[in-house]
Structure 1
């Protein structure tokens, strides 16, 4: 089985699944520490959630927003999606459009031409192969143009209630600094983090790690004095930024 990655590259979903299965088993002490960290993050960010605006009853809207969010901020995506969804209110409307019809609505977003192609192509697959319904299975989502492993994890966790922790740049950076993982490959990071927490708390971990990365644990200038879990942080790589 193949899927099209963020830039349209063909990537084996079998390889992704294999990567996600490779992980050492954490010790009880490691799990206790991870839970303590998660509890601390939840106390700081009790309202952590997906910050891409969408109708929860319309998984297609989140799929489009996630495709647009690659190498873009949620804020910039949220500025364009209201007009975009008004012009194309259903997945069928996107499927009937040409990429050039979509481009004017998203031209402020980086890589907008490629993203318009992927959105239209994905819509046609959803309509043609899945009866106009976004598939709830992660391996099927990863076959859609523009939908990679991270995007599929976001969708299944937020729309379909499947426990998953999508690893973006914030999740990976914060997890490594905390000493929760040493991995850099997103799929392997996901596997290791997923083994640390109960399945029902993975989405919570995803959202709070993102909030921490955006608000406190900045890539270049982390504000460690404001960190809610400073006592448990290993500060991996932080001192090198000074």
Structure 2
């Protein structure tokens, strides 16, 4: 017989973390008019590896403006796409991945659209997305959560993942997929899709300013009381 061990203590840590990060950084709420079409969100994710969000946003906007449709982007020569993605961190790789991803969507769906995912539950939709070239867990979660789909999926970039690893909320060597699978059941059930989006943006802000990869400023960390790494110092 399985014993009911009650709620996981990490859920309460996540609640405290959220409140303390809001107190530190203020609310970080994505306005509805900033939620873009899922295809735009996919493109922005595929071309955005290790690039600043503003750069990836600009590149996605420019591609759509110059070509007029994602189908036309899929038809463009790699050399042309690479030239238009020079501000990306890895222009040639971004161009190759984007073209392959768009072509696969069109081959399966007949057009560059993710409308069919509207009828799928979030886990199934993410599983389908992750069969596409260049799409892993961070991007699939981003498409479901930050686009007009507005679903409950937690985005985890490398910085946010570093925070929750240092806090001991997920295993130290967990990749993004495992960290996501560990954290999703722990998130307070009352949290909305918007709450999950804000939680990621706050975690990202913490990673960029205090919980840096090297020389983290643990004495200044607002969540230090719940952090295994900080407690060990």
Question: Do residues 197 (structure 1) and 187 (structure 2) align?
Answer: yes
1:44–1:152: structure 2 CA closer, same or farther, 3 Å change rule?
same
The CA RMSD measured in Å over matched residues stands at: 2.7
Shift of 1:174: 0.3
Aligned to 1:143: 131
Gaps of 5+ in 1: 1-24
Matches within 5 A, 1:156-167: 156-159=144-147, 160-167=149-156
Q: 1:117 pairs with 66, 74, 96, which one?
A: 96
Counterparts of 1:115 and 1:229 in 2: how far apart (Å)? 36
Does the CA contact (< 8 Å) of 2:8 and 2:186 recur in 1? no
Aligned to 1:31: 11
Shift of 1:47: 4.0
Shift of 1:36: 0.9
Matches within 5 A, 1:144-183: 144-159=132-147, 160-183=149-172
Aligned length: 212
Does the CA contact (< 8 Å) of 1:40 and 1:229 recur in 2? yes
1:222–1:89: structure 2 CA closer, same or farther, 3 Å change rule?
farther
Counterparts of 1:129 and 1:195 in 2: how far apart (Å)? 32
1:67–1:49: structure 2 CA closer, same or farther, 3 Å change rule?
farther
Shift of 1:88: 2.6
Shift of 1:57: 3.7
Counterparts of 1:112 and 1:202 in 2: how far apart (Å)? 30
Matches within 5 A, 1:1-242: 27-48=7-28, 56-130=35-109, 131-134=111-114, 136=117, 137-159=125-147, 160-183=149-172, 184-199=174-189, 200=192, 201-235=195-229, 239=233
Aligned to 1:8: none
